[in-house]
């Protein structure tokens, strides 16, 4: 119980990762797949950001020459999260563009139906 | 610092600049020439670096920016990395040159500069995966690699390729998600991202027995992520469509190089982040071994049932990736050496198979089904020879590139009885299966067409060109170079193995 209480960020992010992962893997609706991707990535960002935060400290913005490292949180995970967000936005945009293209062509966003239609078209 | 130490950085940045500049070209020919020159320049630089590092048995880290080790970003190069960079750029060049007609036919003219942009970014991200010394940089370049690889699949703009792309992209993103989570966990337990610093912490953790569960989870997630992206057996479902439906140059590069980029990162992680001993003590190697063996057999079984020539070659890639993972899963140095050699052998063979298949398909009225290709090798002799050499190499006949890795896999497995029995059985079965689908294909290509041309036409339902299409000089020359390289790799495997050994020793 104590472990659960002290690691609730980790547990939340793992649960969210699972939800996002299975939505991305199993859902047939392309838009929901993309939502799943974003949930999955966000859960990792939650994990990283929570690991970088140290309770009772502030963001490492040095003012008035205060350079005591004891006052600040670890800024590296925040930097990683920013990079991760950029990556996540670009792949979401790419997926959305592909989904739009398929919708224009086949008038559906159900991946199974699209595969059937594409196979028919090939033959 | 010797000037040659700048080569890794220069080759990555050169490809990136090339990628940024290429879309502004309006002329297709100019784009292709500039691109070929760029890749050739990368090849020349990597060759120089390789020769210098190999003769000096030297390796170095290169500081990016002005922040020293625990904070800054680093590149790292030794003979193995330089060798891989050299091979990758050479195969990129050969595939692009050989597949040039396919590119011109399949892709809309206005899109061709964009296609080359993606190729440039793809090469730059693969070079970065080879050279990087930083886990998070590796993640970022994995994502760049994914996006580029997906866009070169969809360059041939048909419904089927877009569907293949979206399935490829979804599987790849699942893999990237796993990898990112793995890196995050590794960062939280070690506090570092640079490979050498992570390794110190990991060794300390392994000795003290702390945090074993997070360590296993993180390693498992990263290996799983990379395995999905390199199409290890149960995660291969995206591969046949993506590789089978895209244009020839894309198929060749995806099969020959993109899959290997991730595996080289895995080899690097195995030596520079974890040690082979820690990998073995966490039982990850056993999982890789079992999945590799399964892949070797199931990939061939699937290929056996395939009648579409490009999809057959694509399924054969699944089997070959199985070989590589099995080599790494043996947990011995010889096993990893064999895996590295097989990366080279497969990279030299698979693009040749795709290019030759393209040549054969071109002279058979653009039919991809096996029965329509009967007798095709008589119509295009060099493509026929190319396919035959590739097929023999994949089966593992002596004198061809695919032979040496099998021997070394056998030698590498001899340290434990269980591994030895399984490896030998798997090698025998997989060789047999490879022969079962490659030999009939080769025989059919060289035999006389059974039925008159007219009937093939009706059976195929497409119009067969009466006159032979003009042969592409580029395709022929690139197949010729591939054949020569294949024999070089198959005959001179001793010295090449020596180079790989030197590289791996310096990697540790």
A·B CB contacts under 8 A: 88
| A44 pLDDT above the threshold of 90 | yes
CA distances from B235 to B170, B325, B326, B394 (A): 12, 13, 15, 22
Residues B387 and B362: beta-carbon distance below 8 Å: no
Instruction: State both tokens at B311.
Output: 């999809």
Angle formed by the axes of helices B195-208 and B259-272, nearest 10°: 50
Q: Is the dihedral of CA B218, B223, B229, B235 positive or negative?
A: negative
Torsion on CA atoms B300, B304, B308, B312, rounded to nearest 10:
20
| Integer-rounded Cα radius of gyration of chain B | 22
| Helix (H), strand (E) at residue B467 | none
Which residues make beta-bridge pairs with B24?
Answer: none
| A20 pLDDT above the threshold of 90 | yes
Contact (CB<8Å) A121/B150? no
Instruction: State both tokens at A66.
Output: 């205060």
pLDDT at A66: 66
Structural domain spans, chain B: 3-507
pLDDT at B453: 53
State the Cα–Cα distance between residues B225 and A17, nearest whole angstrom. Answer: 14
| Helix (H), strand (E) at residue A115 | helix A111-122
User: Which chain B residue lies closest to A121 (C-alpha atoms)?
Assistant: B159
State the Cα–Cα distance between residues B234 and B286, nearest whole angstrom. Answer: 16
pLDDT at A58: 80
| A30 pLDDT above the threshold of 80 | yes
Neighboring chain B residues of A99 at a CB cutoff of 8 Å: 166
pLDDT at A1: 74
Please tell me chain A's helix, strand, coil percentages from 3-state DSSP, rounded to the nearest 5. Answer: 75, 5, 20
State the Cα–Cα distance between residues B185 and B211, nearest whole angstrom. Answer: 11
Q: Quick count: other Cβ atoms within 10 Å of Cβ A121?
A: 13
Minimal CA–CA distance to B321: which of B250, B390, B394?
A: B394
ipTM of the complex: 0.94
3-state secondary structure B85-96: HHHHHHHHHHHH
Minimal CA–CA distance to A19: which of A33, A5, A8?
A: A33
Closest in A37, A47, A118 to B163, CB measured: A118
Residues B427 and B412: beta-carbon distance below 8 Å: no
Three-state DSSP class for B414? helix
Place of tokens 């469509």: B241
Instruction: State both tokens at B299.
Output: 């990939």
Instruction: Tell me the mean pLDDT per 10 residues along chain B, length 508.
Output: 88 92 85 91 93 88 83 88 92 90 84 90 94 92 93 86 90 93 92 89 88 90 93 88 88 91 92 87 89 91 88 91 91 89 92 89 80 81 89 88 88 85 90 89 83 50 51 83 89 89 86
Interface of B with A (CB under 8 A): 136, 139-140, 143, 146-147, 150-151, 154, 158-160, 162-163, 165-167, 169-170, 173-174, 176-177, 180-181, 184, 187-188, 193
| A63 pLDDT above the threshold of 80 | no
**Which residues are CB-contacts of B155 (< 8 A; sequence separation ≥ 6)?**
B103, B106, B107, B111, B115, B118, B161, B246, B247, B250
| A15 pLDDT above the threshold of 90 | yes
pLDDT at B468: 56
Domains and CATH numbers, chain A: 2-122 (1.10.287.3510)
Neighboring chain A residues of B160 at a CB cutoff of 8 Å: 118-119, 121-122
Contact (CB<8Å) A94/B140? no
Contact (CB<8Å) A24/B174? yes
3-state secondary structure B374-413: CCHHHHCHHHHHHHHHHHHHHHCCCCCCCHHHHHHHHHHH
Contact (CB<8Å) A87/B143? yes
pLDDT at B463: 46
Neighboring chain B residues of A17 at a CB cutoff of 8 Å: 177, 181
Contact (CB<8Å) A90/B143? yes
Long-range contacts of B275-281 (CB under 8 A, 24+ apart): B275/B199, B275/B203, B275/B508, B276/B331, B276/B333, B276/B336, B278/B202, B278/B203, B278/B206, B279/B219, B279/B331, B280/B331, B281/B206
| Helix (H), strand (E) at residue B463 | none
Residues B379 and B373: beta-carbon distance below 8 Å: no
pLDDT at B469: 61
pLDDT at B459: 47
| Helix (H), strand (E) at residue B431 | helix B417-446
């Amino acid at each position: 119980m104590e472990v659960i209480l002290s690691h609730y960020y980790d547990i939340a992010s793992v649960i969210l990762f699972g939800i996002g992962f299975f939505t991305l893997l199993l859902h047939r609706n392309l838009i929901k797949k993309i939502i799943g991707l974003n949930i999955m990535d966000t859960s990792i960002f939650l994990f990283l950001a929570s690991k970088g935060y140290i309770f009772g400290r502030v963001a490492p913005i040095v003012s008035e020459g205060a350079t005591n490292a004891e006052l600040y949180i670890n800024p590296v995970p925040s930097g990683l999260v920013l990079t991760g967000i950029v990556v996540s936005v670009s792949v979401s945009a790419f997926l959305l563009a592909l989904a739009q293209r398929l919708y224009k062509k086949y008038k559906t966003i159900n991946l199974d139906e699209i595969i059937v239609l594409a196979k028919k078209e090939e033959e | 610092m010797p000037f040659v130490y700048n080569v890794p950085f220069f080759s990555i940045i050169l490809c990136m600049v090339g990628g940024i500049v290429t879309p502004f070209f309006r002329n297709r020919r100019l784009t292709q020439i500039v691109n070929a020159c760029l890749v050739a320049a990368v090849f020349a630089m990597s060759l120089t670096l390789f020769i210098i590092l190999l003769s000096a048995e030297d390796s170095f880290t290169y500081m990016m920016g002005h922040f020293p080790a625990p904070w800054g970003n680093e590149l790292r190069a030794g003979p193995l990395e330089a060798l891989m960079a050299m091979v990758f750029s050479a195969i990129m060049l050969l595939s692009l040159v050989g597949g040039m007609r396919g590119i011109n036919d399949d892709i809309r003219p206005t899109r061709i500069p964009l296609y080359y942009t993606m190729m440039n970014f793809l090469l730059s991200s693969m070079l970065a995966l080879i050279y990087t010394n930083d886990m998070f940089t590796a993640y970022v370049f994995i994502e760049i690699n994914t996006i580029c690889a997906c866009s070169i699949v969809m360059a041939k703009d048909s419904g089927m390729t877009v569907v293949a792309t979206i399935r490829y992209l979804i599987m790849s993103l699942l893999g990237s998600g796993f990898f990112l989570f793995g890196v995050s966990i590794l960062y939280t337990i070690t506090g570092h991202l640079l490979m050498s610093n992570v390794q110190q912490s990991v060794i300390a953790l392994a000795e003290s027995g702390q945090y074993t569960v997070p360590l296993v989870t993180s390693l498992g997630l990263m290996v799983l992520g990379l395995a999905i992206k390199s199409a290890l057996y149960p995660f291969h479902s995206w591969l046949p469509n993506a590789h089978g439906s895209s244009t020839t140059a894309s198929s060749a590069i995806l099969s020959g190089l993109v899959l290997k980029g991730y595996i080289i990162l895995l080899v690097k992680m195995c030596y520079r982040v974890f040690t082979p001993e820690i990998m073995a003590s966490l039982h990850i190697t056993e999982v890789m071994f079992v999945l590799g063996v399964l892949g070797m057999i199931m990939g061939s079984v699937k290929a056996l049932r395939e009648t579409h020539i490009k999809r057959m070659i694509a399924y054969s890639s699944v089997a070959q990736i199985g070989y590589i993972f099995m080599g790494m899963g043996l947990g011995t140095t010889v096993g990893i050496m064999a895996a590295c050699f097989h990366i080279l052998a497969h990279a030299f063979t698979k693009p040749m198979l795709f290019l030759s298949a393209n040549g054969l398909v071109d002279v058979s009225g653009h039919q991809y089904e096996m029965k329509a290709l009967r007798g095709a090798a008589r119509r295009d002799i060099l493509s026929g020879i190319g396919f035959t050499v590739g097929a023999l190499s994949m089966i593992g006949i002596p004198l061809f590139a695919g032979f040496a890795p099998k021997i070394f896999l056998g030698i590498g497995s001899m340290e434990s009885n269980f591994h030895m029995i399984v490896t030998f059985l798997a090698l025998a079965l997989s060789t047999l299966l490879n022969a079962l689908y490659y030999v009939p294909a080769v025989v059919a290509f060289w035999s006389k067409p059974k039925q008159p041309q007219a009937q093939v036409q009706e059976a195929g339902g497409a119009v067969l060109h009466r006159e032979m299409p003009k042969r592409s000089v580029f395709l022929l020359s690139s197949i010729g170079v591939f054949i020569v390289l294949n024999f070089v790799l198959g005959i001179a495997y001793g010295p090449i193995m020596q180079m790989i050994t030197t590289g791996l020793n310096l990697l540790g």
